[in-house]
C-alpha cells in the first residue's frame, strides 16, 4: 500500500555555456562541473576566485523516469533543494521553493503518466534572489558584506573567515516518488521524559489522508505497546517503561538506546506506513539559578567539554556517514563530550544525530542565523517558521540533542557592532529569537531547553556578552589581546573561543603549489580568510616564542602557539568549576584546506591543537594556575578548597579537576627545578577530589617562588599525569641546544620513535606527515627533563626513513630555533 521510487539517476545539468552535463543527485553544480572537468578544484591554490559566476548563474537539472501509477496518491518528495527553485513535471509547474533548510512534497498523481516522464528543476541564481530581496526590504548589516541574510541558505556558502565563497545550487538531498493510499504518517513526534524511575513516551502523530476510513496506529518500545484507532488526522499514544536503562553522555555512563516502532494500518490489518527511530530515556535542563549556566543531564551537572562544529565540507554531498563517524571519533578521542552545531551552517543530518546518539555526544543545535541582521518580513517569516517546525520535529527524538539556540552572535551584533544606526528601525531578527523560535520549541519540543542566542546573558536588559551571566564568546583574545588574557575572565559558560594556526604540512602541500611556501606566498595568503590573520599570528608568536627563521619554523611555532593558547584557556575555565561550567572551543573541523582555528584540518588531519585539547579535556586534569587571596564565592559557597582566586601576580597553585564518575585521590609530587633538571624545592600533596569537583591546593612558597624566573619551572606529577609551568615565556628562556638520543623500531604499520633527553627538550613534536601524508603520531608537544624519555607511536601506510624521522623538520622542539 506504500512505495518509494528514488529519482537519483539520469540527471543532467545545464546553465550558462554548460549544456547537459551528467549530474549527480544528491549533489550540487560545483561537484558536477568538477567531475566533468569544466572547472578546476576550488580547494586548490586560488581557483576559488575563478568560480563566482556559478552562484550568479541559473541552472536547470533534468531527467526522465518511468512510473506506473498505482496508488491514489503519488507525491514528489524533495528532501532538500538548494535553494530558489521551480519544479516542472511533464511541462507543468508543480511547485516553487526558496529554502534550503526544509523539505517539500507535491501531489503529482494527476501529472504522472505511464511510460516516460520529464522532470526539470530550475534553480534561480542565489545572488539574484538575495540581492532582489535586499533591494525590496532594505539593506541589513552583516559581518561579510555578502547577502546571505536575504536567502534561507547555508550562510557560510557566501564565505566566512575560515571558508571559501562557493555559492552552490542543486538537489542536495534525496528526491523521489512516494506512492500511498488511505493515510500516511505525516509527522511523528515522540516526547520522552523520565521521572521517579519511570520512562514515559508520548507519541504524537499527525496523518495526511487520501480516504476517510478509520486506521489503527500501533507503537512499541522496550517491550511496551500502545494502540489507537483514529478517524481524524491526530493521535496520541502513551507508553510507560518502568526503570528504563538511561541514556548518558560519554564519560558518565552508557548511551542506552531503545527502538521505538510505529505501524499505521487499515482496520483489516493492512500496513499503510511505518516509522522507526532509536530513542533514549534521559532528562535535560539548563540551571540558571544564581546567574549560573549549567547543563543538567539526568539530574547530574555536566561540565561541557565542547567543540564548535561547522559543515565538514562546502559540498554537502561529500559528507558521508563514514566521514562524520571519523570526525566524531576524533572528537571522542580528544575527550570531547559536546558538539555545538554553529548557526552559519545548517540543521545537521540524521546520520549526524544518530551517530551522536550512539557515541553519547551531547549536541546543541543553533537555528541557522549567524553574524547578521535578518529581515522579519515575508516571505522570510513564514519560511522560517516552516523550517523551524520541520526541523524541531525531525530532531526532537534524538537524546543527544540537549539545547536549541536561537542564533549565533546576532543579539551581540545588534548591541555592539554598530547595527542600530544602520538599521534605522528596520527589523533585524529579534522576533525570531525572542518570540517565534521559543514558541515553536515550547509547542513541539517542550522537554528540551531553548536559549535565545550565543552569546546571551539571560535577559534583554543585560549586555548579551557579559561573561558573568549565561553564555559568552571570548574574541578579544586572538583579535587584539594575548591568550594569557583568558585567565582574567571568570565566565559562567564559554561558547566560543579559539586561536589560529595553519593546517598540517601535507595538507598545505596538497592544496597549495607555492614554491617556495612562505607565510605570505600567494596560495598561503589566499587560504588565510581572517582579516589581519597573519599579523595576529605573528603578534601571538612575538609574545611567547623565538622568532622563526624560515617557513618550517613558522609552521611549527604557529601550530605550537595555537595548541598552547587553547589549552591555556580550557585549563583555566575548567579550574573555575563550578563557577564556570562549559568550554566550547572554536572549532573542531574545517570545510576545506585553510589556516584556521580548527583542531582537525580540512583533509581530516590532526593539528598539534588536537593533542593539547585531548589532554586539557581529559576526565582528570592536573593544572598549575595562579591563585591568591580569599575564596572565590560567586553567588554561593566557595567552589575551591582551600579557596583562592586568580590575580595577575598570583603564585602558582595546583588545581585538580575530576570530571569522571569515580572519586580521585590525588597524590602529587610538585617540584621546582632549573633547566638542567636539578631539584630546587619539592612538596608532596594529597587531596581527595570528588566526581564533578575542582580542588585547589596552594604550593609552599619555596616551590612556587623562583630564584631565577628565566631559568626555572614547576613540575607536578600525580599517578601518570604531569603538568609543567614555566615562570617566563619561551622567548626569554636561555634554552640549551637540544641534545638527545633516539631509536626507531618499525613493526608493520607502526613505528615507535623513542627520544631520550640529554638536555631539557621543550614541546617536542613529531611531524611524520612530512614523510607520508597518511602518517599520524599519538602525541605532540611533550616537554622532557634531562634523562627522561618519550615514545611516539607513528602509524603509517609505508616504511619511514629513520634518519628523517629524527631530523628537522620532522622532529622539532623549541630548543632548535
User: Each residue of 8-21: pLDDT tens digit?
Assistant: 999 999 999 999 99
**Distance from C-alpha of 350 to C-alpha of 395, rounded to nearest angstrom:** 8
Complete domains list, the chain, with CATH? 2-178 (2.60.120.260), 182-279 (2.60.40.10), 286-618 (3.20.20.80), 621-732 (2.60.40.10), 740-816 (2.60.40)
| 341 pLDDT tier (thresholds 50, 70, 90) | very high
Strands 401-405 and 450-451, by their bridges, are: parallel
Phi and psi at 140, nearest 5°, equal: -130, 140
Mean pLDDT of 185-202: 97
**Distance from C-alpha of 41 to C-alpha of 510, rounded to nearest angstrom:** 12
What percent of the chain stands above pLDDT 90? Answer: 95
Instruction: Please say whether the beta carbons of 389 and 395 come within 8 A.
Output: no
Phi and psi at 65, nearest 5°, equal: -145, 155
Instruction: Please say whether the beta carbons of 450 and 437 come within 8 A.
Output: yes
The per-residue pLDDT for 516 is 95
pLDDT tens-digit map of 93-150: 999 999 999 999 999 999 999 889 999 999 999 999 999 999 999 999 999 999 999 9
**Distance from C-alpha of 622 to C-alpha of 616, rounded to nearest angstrom:** 9
What percent of the chain stands above pLDDT 70? Answer: 97
Question: DSSP per residue over 508-542, as a string?
Answer: HHHH---SS--TTSHHHHHTB-STTHHHHHHHHHH
Please check the confidence at residue 52 and state whether its pLDDT lies above 60: yes
**Distance from C-alpha of 588 to C-alpha of 600, rounded to nearest angstrom:** 6
pLDDT tens-digit map of 290-315: 899 999 999 999 999 999 999 999 99
Half-sphere exposure of 515 (CA within 13 A, CB side): 2
The per-residue pLDDT for 631 is 38
**Distance from C-alpha of 455 to C-alpha of 396, rounded to nearest angstrom:** 23
pLDDT tens-digit map of 630-645: 333 333 323 333 334 4
Q: Is 472 helix (H, G, I), strand (E, B) or coil?
A: strand
Strand partners, 636: none
Q: Strands, DSSP E only, in 663-760?
A: 664-674, 679-689, 693-698, 712-718, 721-726, 740-747, 750-757
Q: Which residues contact 674 (CB under 8 A, 6 or more apart)?
A: 680, 708, 711, 712
Q: How far is CA 220 from CA 174, 396, 512, in A?
A: 28, 18, 55
Grid coordinates standing for 780? 605532540
Find where cell 543530518 sits.
349
Instruction: State pTM to two decimals.
Output: 0.96
**Distance from C-alpha of 702 to C-alpha of 683, rounded to nearest angstrom:** 9
**Distance from C-alpha of 417 to C-alpha of 411, rounded to nearest angstrom:** 10
Instruction: Please say whether the beta carbons of 717 and 683 come within 8 A.
Output: no
- Alpha carbon 501 to its chain centroid, in Å, reads 18
Mean pLDDT of 236-263: 97
Grid coordinates standing for 399? 537524546
Instruction: Please say whether the beta carbons of 470 and 493 come within 8 A.
Output: yes
pLDDT tens-digit map of 573-622: 999 999 999 999 999 999 999 999 999 999 999 999 999 999 999 999 99
pLDDT tens-digit map of 670-728: 999 999 999 999 999 999 999 999 999 999 999 999 999 999 999 999 999 999 999 99
The per-residue pLDDT for 67 is 87
pLDDT tens-digit map of 742-778: 999 998 889 999 999 999 999 999 999 999 999 999 9
**Distance from C-alpha of 729 to C-alpha of 727, rounded to nearest angstrom:** 7
pLDDT tens-digit map of 400-457: 999 999 999 999 999 999 999 999 999 999 999 999 999 999 999 999 999 999 999 9
Mean pLDDT, all residues of the chain: 95
| 627 pLDDT tier (thresholds 50, 70, 90) | confident
The per-residue pLDDT for 649 is 54
The per-residue pLDDT for 715 is 98
Rounded CA Rg of the chain: 28
Grid coordinates standing for 507? 595538507
The per-residue pLDDT for 70 is 80
Amino acid at each position: 500500500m506504500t512505495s518509494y521510487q528514488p529519482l537519483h539517476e539520469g540527471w543532467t545539468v545545464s546553465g550558462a555555456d554548460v549544456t547537459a552535463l551528467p549530474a549527480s543527485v544528491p549533489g550540487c553544480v560545483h561537484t558536477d562541473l568538477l567531475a566533468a572537468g569544466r572547472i578546476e578544484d576550488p580547494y586548490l591554490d586560488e581557483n576559488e576566485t575563478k568560480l563566482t559566476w556559478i552562484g550568479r548563474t541559473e541552472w536547470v537539472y533534468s531527467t526522465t523516469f518511468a512510473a506506473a501509477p498505482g496508488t491514489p496518491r503519488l507525491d514528489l518528495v524533495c528532501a532538500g533543494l538548494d535553494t530558489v527553485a521551480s519544479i516542472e513535471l511533464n511541462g507543468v509547474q508543480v511547485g516553487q521553493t526558496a529554502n534550503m533548510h526544509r523539505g517539500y512534497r507535491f501531489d503529482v498523481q494527476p501529472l504522472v503518466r505511464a511510460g516516460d516522464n520529464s522532470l526539470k528543476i530550475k534553480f534561480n541564481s542565489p545572488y539574484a534572489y538575495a540581492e532582489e530581496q535586499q533591494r525590496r526590504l532594505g539593506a541589513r548589516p552583516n559581518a561579510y558584506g555578502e547577502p546571505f541574510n536575504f536567502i534561507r541558505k547555508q550562510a557560510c556558502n557566501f564565505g566566512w573567515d575560515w571558508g571559501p565563497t562557493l555559492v552552490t545550487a542543486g538537489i542536495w538531498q534525496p528526491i523521489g516518488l512516494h506512492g500511498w493510499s488511505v493515510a500516511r504518517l505525516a509527522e511523528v513526534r515522540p516526547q520522552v521524559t523520565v521521572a521517579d524511575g519511570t520512562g514515559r513516551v508520548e507519541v504524537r502523530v499527525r496523518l495526511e489522508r487520501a480516504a476517510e476510513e478509520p486506521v489503527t496506529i500501533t507503537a512499541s518500545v522496550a517491550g511496551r505497546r500502545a494502540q489507537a484507532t483514529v478517524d481524524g488526522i491526530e493521535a496520541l499514544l502513551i507508553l510507560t517503561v518502568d526503570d528504563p536503562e538511561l541514556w548518558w553522555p560519554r564519560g558518565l555512563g552508557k548511551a542506552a538506546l531503545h527502538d521505538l516502532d510505529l505501524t499505521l494500518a487499515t482496520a483489516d490489518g493492512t500496513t499503510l506506513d511505518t516509522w522507526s527511530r532509536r530513542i533514549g530515556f534521559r532528562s535535560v535542563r539548563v540551571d540558571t539559578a544564581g546567574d549560573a549556566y549549567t547543563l543538567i543531564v539526568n539530574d547530574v551537572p555536566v561540565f561541557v567539554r565542547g567543540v564548535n562544529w561547522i559543515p565538514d565540507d562546502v559540498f554537502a554531498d561529500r559528507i558521508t556517514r563514514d566521514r562524520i563517524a571519523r570526525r566524531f571519533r576524533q572528537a571522542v578521542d580528544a575527550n570531547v563530550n559536546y558538539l555545538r552545531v554553529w548557526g552559519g551552517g545548517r540543521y545537521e543530518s540524521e546520520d549526524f544525530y544518530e551517530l551522536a546518539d550512539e557515541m553519547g555526544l551531547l549536541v546543541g543545535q543553533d537555528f541557522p542565523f549567524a553574524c547578521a541582521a535578518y529581515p522579519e518580513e515575508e516571505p522570510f517569516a513564514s519560511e522560517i517558521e516552516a523550517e523551524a517546525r520541520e526541523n524541531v520535529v525531525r530532531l526532537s527524538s534524538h537524546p543527544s540533542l540537549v539545547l536549541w539556540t536561537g542564533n549565533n552572535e546576532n543579539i551581540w551584533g545588534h548591541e555592539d557592532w554598530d547595527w542600530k544606526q544602520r538599521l534605522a528601525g528596520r527589523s533585524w531578527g529579534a522576533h525570531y529569537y525572542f518570540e517565534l523560535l521559543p514558541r515553536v520549541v515550547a509547542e513541539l519540543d517542550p522537554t528540551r531547553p531553548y536559549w535565545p542566542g550565543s552569546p546571551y546573558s539571560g535577559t534583554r536588559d543585560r549586555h548579551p556578552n557579559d561573561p558573568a551571566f549565561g553564555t559568552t564568546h571570548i574574541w578579544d583574545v586572538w583579535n587584539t589581546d594575548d591568550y594569557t588574557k583568558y585567565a582574567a575572565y571568570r565566565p559562567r559558560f564559554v561558547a566560543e573561543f579559539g586561536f589560529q594556526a595553519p593546517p598540517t604540512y601535507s595538507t598545505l602541500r596538497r592544496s597549495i603549489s607555492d614554491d617556495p611556501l612562505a607565510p605570505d606566498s600567494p596560495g598561503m595568503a589566499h587560504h588565510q580568510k581572517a582579516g589581519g590573520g597573519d599579523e595576529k599570528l605573528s603578534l601571538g608568536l612575538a609574545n611567547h616564542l623565538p622568532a622563526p627563521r624560515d617557513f618550517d619554523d613558522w609552521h611549527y611555532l604557529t601550530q605550537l602557539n595555537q595548541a598552547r593558547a587553547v589549552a591555556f584557556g580550557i585549563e583555566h575555565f575548567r579550574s573555575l568549576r563550578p563557577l564556570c561550567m562549559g568550554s566550547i572551543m572554536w572549532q573542531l573541523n574545517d570545510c576545506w584546506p585553510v589556516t584556521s582555528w580548527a583542531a582537525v584540518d580540512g583533509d581530516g588531519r590532526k593539528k598539534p591543537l588536537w593533542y593539547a585539547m585531548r589532554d586539557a579535556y581529559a576526565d582528570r586534569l592536573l593544572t598549575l594556575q595562579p591563585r591568591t587571596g580569599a575564596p572565590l564565592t560567586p553567588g554561593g559557597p566557595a567552589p575551591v578548597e582551600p579557596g583562592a582566586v586568580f590575580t595577575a601576580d598570583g603564585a602558582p597553585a595546583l588545581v585538580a579537576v575530576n570530571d569522571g564518575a569515580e572519586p580521585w585521590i590525588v597524590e602529587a609530587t610538585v617540584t621546582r627545578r632549573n633547566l638542567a633538571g636539578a631539584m630546587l624545592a619539592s612538596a608532596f600533596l594529597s587531596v581527595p577530589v570528588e566526581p564533578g569537583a575542582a580542588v585547589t591546593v596552594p604550593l609552599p612558597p619555596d616551590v612556587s617562588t623562583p630564584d631565577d624566573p628565566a631559568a626555572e619551572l614547576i613540575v607536578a606529577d600525580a599517578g601518570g599525569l604531569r603538568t609543567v609551568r614555566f615562570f617566563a615565556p619561551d622567548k626569554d628562556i636561555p634554552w640549551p641546544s637540544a641534545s638527545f638520543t633516539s631509536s626507531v623500531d618499525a613493526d608493520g604499520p607502526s613505528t615507535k620513535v623513542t627520544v631520550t633527553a640529554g638536555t631539557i627538550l621543550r614541546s617536542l613534536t613529531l611531524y611524520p606527515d612530512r614523510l607520508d601524508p597518511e602518517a599520524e603520531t599519538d602525541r605532540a608537544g611533550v616537554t622532557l627533563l634531562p634523562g627522561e624519555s618519550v615514545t611516539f607511536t607513528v602509524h603509517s601506510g609505508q616504511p619511514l626513513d629513520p634518519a628523517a624521522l629524527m631530523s628537522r623538520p620532522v622532529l622539532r622542539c623549541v630548543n632548535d630555533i
